[in-house]
Amino acid sequence: FLGAGGGNDIQWCFSQVKGAVDDDVAEADIISTVEFNHSGELLATGDKGGRVVIFQQEQENKTQPHSRGEYNVYSTFQSHEPEFDYLKSLEIEEKINKIRWLPQKNAAQFLLSTNDKTIKLWKISERDKRPEGYNLKEEDGRYRDPTTVTTLRVPVFRPMDLMVEASPRRIFANAHTYHINSISINSDYETYLSADDLRINLWHLEITDRSFNIVDIKPANMEELTEVITAAEFHPNSCSTFVYSSSKGTIRLCDMRASALCDRHSKLFEEPEDPSNRSFFSEIISSISDVKFSHSGRYMMTRDYLSVKIWDLNMENRPVETYQVHEYLRSKLCSLYENDCIFDKFECCWNGSDRQVGFLPLCTSDYSLIVMTGSYNNFFRMFDRNTKRDITLEASRENNKPRTVLKPRKVCASGKRKKDEISVDSLDFNKKILHTAWHPKENIIAVATTNNLYIFQDKMN
Amino acid sequence: MFVRGLKRKCFDGEEDIEGTLAGIKAIPSYNLQRQSLLDMSLVKLQLCHMLVEPNLCRSVLIANTVRQIQEEMTQDGTWQMINTQSTGQASLDRLVSTDILCRSSRDQAEGKHGPAYGTFSKDFESDQAQDSSETMSTASSVQAPRNLQSNVWEMENPQENKGNFQKSLDQIFETLENKSPNSVEDLFSEVDNSYYDLDTMLTGMMSNSKMGHCDSLETFSSPTNTASNSNCKSDLNDLDHIVEILVES
């Protein structure tokens, strides 16, 4: 279905699933973020229990050239612990809200992980050699009796079983009064931003005792508070440009060169409301839960409760494309408000640069052509900007035959339900896919259900 | 998924229910739906059962919804109408019924946090203090003297808390009785920490909540200072009294 004409459709197949099979989900195991690193070799997940699990892709198997490497556990570590804020008498959750990888500069890998209040820079390094042949120590560490030393030798490195170590290199704390929802690394690879409900701060990766406040939307009188920041991201190429989205469905683009405090946006993206769809829930469903720049930075994509919108940075007054994720929920908004599902924050992501997706006339340097986002009942959706076709797939253990193409799903909004369709009322609203990620270079996707991580790949040949 | 209709009130009796199929409820009037939504929203703002700070985005969105309904009702004139119609008793009933409504759906979607708008507005006052104590050397200005003042206000007044507690409770009822069009603003002002304790314990006492509010409240009070301990105890006594009133009505 997906491709730039020529029938280069991607057919998604189940590859792997990680996590407990148990129906009884332990709260700490709930996945809260998923992110590939820049090469796609590593896939990180964060969970509600404050842990980070990193999977590594196996090297391509020479005997099976048509199968992409599997992901296996590479490292697991406790990134954040629960804390107690004594001033407010409240707990600070250890849940990992976001993980962002730094591009690799040397043998070690670095990532930023954040909970509600504190960001940490973690170094993940491998150790596969150890020194042996000390003069004054035995192999087990005991000191030798110096009188028994009759010759001198130079210690050498000998191979050992691979050990992957994670160590916190920087801790960026005490800069956020409100809950951090986003972190984004600048294209200069030296600075990054962190955004909470009301403020955005700029950090230098080397400096932990100082950060600069670049956006502050806190009103002088908190009773006047009607809007919060929901997501923020740096432009992929322009290191002075970033955007942030709000709970009122607006996106502001700011230029840090304009002033120290970017309270006045350079651009404001907002679609006028459709009067025919107006309801008491209009504002809530317009609240943007995620914003992602396209590869070139010419476009950006936003996710609100019912749709995904694609914006051209040169056009502020409306999106260039809108895709309905689950329009059949529009008539159920009251129930979804009642059970709080209306506040679920779905993320969205672009495809990677795999050639099979094709290149295209919209903007030749921008290969961001496919949008992926999650929904309920463990469904996730993809939209092809070229063909305008879309597909609904399900992340379920029942589909777990490798190399078998996933069967598209369909939700029946009303009226007679066809065979194989699922009616809206049978959807399981506890099974939500909030986090998805696309390998930067290959057609491999990671889809997180509540506590399981599914990996799907395209069927090669 | 919910296939439930909205509760029908007696003044809605004009609806013709003859001819509807068994099990299908008649669609309630717009006003009724709107009122129900308002009640639900107010309860959502008030319910808080947590040790963790509530989601500010959610609180703001719900508060905006409440304002919207209120504005519309003010324009309609229905705001005043409800004010004269309902007695104190009826509005208490409504509080209880929407509470049960939301609690059952909350039990279904466990793990979801309701907003502590008590804490939300407590933020309003105390975050002046938070800013300077928590933020290290940011480019914004430091507010040290205010920091000290607010801290004192926060930690030292169990007596004052008790008084505020009663005042906060009055505010819930007042809102439902719609004494003034500005009640939404009233909701946000002057509500303090112990306010959310009321609701935590109220919902915990009214049912066997799976979330174990009372349990979490107990663990919450034990390791910290004695001032808050005695605070909770006096609140509990007030609470018993209030629950008795509610249950008897």
Distance from CA of B152 to the nearest CA of A (A): 11
Contacts of A209 in chain B (CB under 8 A): 136-137
Q: What are phi and psi of A85, to 5 degrees?
A: -90, 105
Cβ pair B61:A284 closer than 8 A: yes
Where residue A90 falls among pLDDT bands split at 50, 70, 90?
confident
Q: Of the given ranges (A35-49, A94-108, B48-62, B101-115), which has the lowest mean pLDDT? A: B101-115
Give a three-class secondary structure readout of chain B: CCCCCCCCCHHHCCCCCCCCCCCCCCCCCHHHHHHHHHHHHHHHHHCCCCCECCCHHHHHHHHHHHHHHHHHHHHHCHHHHHHHHCCHHHHHHHHHHHHHHHHHHHHHCCCCCCCCHHHHHHHHHHHHHHHHHHCCCCCCCCCHHHHHHHHHHHHCCHHHHHHHHHHHHHHHHHHHHCCCCCHHHHHHCCCCHHHHHHHHHHHHHHCCCCCCHHHHHHHHHCCCCHHHHHHHHHHHHHHHHHHHHHHHC
The strand pairing partners of A110, in sequence order, are A123
Q: How far is B206 from chain A (nearest CA, A)?
A: 20
More confident residue, B16 or B28: B28
Which chain B residues are within 8 Å of A32, Cβ to Cβ?
none
Asked if B58 lies within 8 A of A343 by C-beta distance, the reply is yes
A425 CB within 8 Å of a chain B CB: yes
- The model's confidence at residue A36, banded by pLDDT at 50, 70 and 90, is very high
Q: Please say if the pLDDT value at position B112 is more than 70.
A: no
pLDDT, position A94: 97
Containing A97, the helix (H) or strand (E) segment is none
Measured between beta carbons, which residues in chain A are less than 8 angstroms from residue B136? Answer: 174-175, 209-210
- The type of residue at A96 is I
Q: From the CA atom positions of chain A, what is the Rg in Å?
A: 24
- What is the count of residue pairs from A and B with beta carbons less than 8 Å apart? 140
Search chain A and give the residue with CA nearest B35: A280
Q: What is the mean pLDDT of residues A203-224?
A: 96
Average pLDDT over residues B5-31: 49
Using CA coordinates, name the residue in chain A closest to B64.
A226
Predicted pLDDT of residue A401? 82
**What's the whole-number average pLDDT of chain A?**
92
- For chain B, what are the domain ranges? 28-77
Q: What is the pLDDT of residue A263?
A: 83
Higher pLDDT, B122 or A21: A21
Residue B232 neighbours by CB distance under 10 Å: 18
Q: What is the pLDDT of residue B178?
A: 38
Taking contacts as CB-CB distances below 8 angstroms, the residues of chain A near B121 are 222-223
Query: Cβ separation of A339 and B2 shorter than 8 Å?
Result: yes
Q: What is the pLDDT of residues A277-330, one digit of tens each?
A: 899 999 999 999 999 999 999 999 999 999 999 999 999 999 999 999 999 999
Whether residues A213 and B154 touch (CB distance < 8 A) is answered with no
A412 by Cβ neighbours in 10 Å (0-12 / 13-18 / 19+) ranks as middle
Lowest pLDDT segment from A221-235, B50-64, B118-132, B206-220: B206-220
Domain annotation for chain A: domains and CATH numbers: 12-146+155-358+367-458 (2.130.10.10)
User: A419-443, pLDDT tens digit by residue?
Assistant: 889 999 999 999 999 999 999 999 9
Instruction: Decide if A93 and B52 are in contact by the 8 Å CB cutoff.
Output: yes
What tokens appear for B239 in the block? 């609470």
ipTM associated with this complex:
0.92
* B141 pLDDT more than 90: no
Contact A424 B111 (CB under 8 A): no
The pLDDT value given to residue B66: 95
Mean pLDDT of A47-66: 85
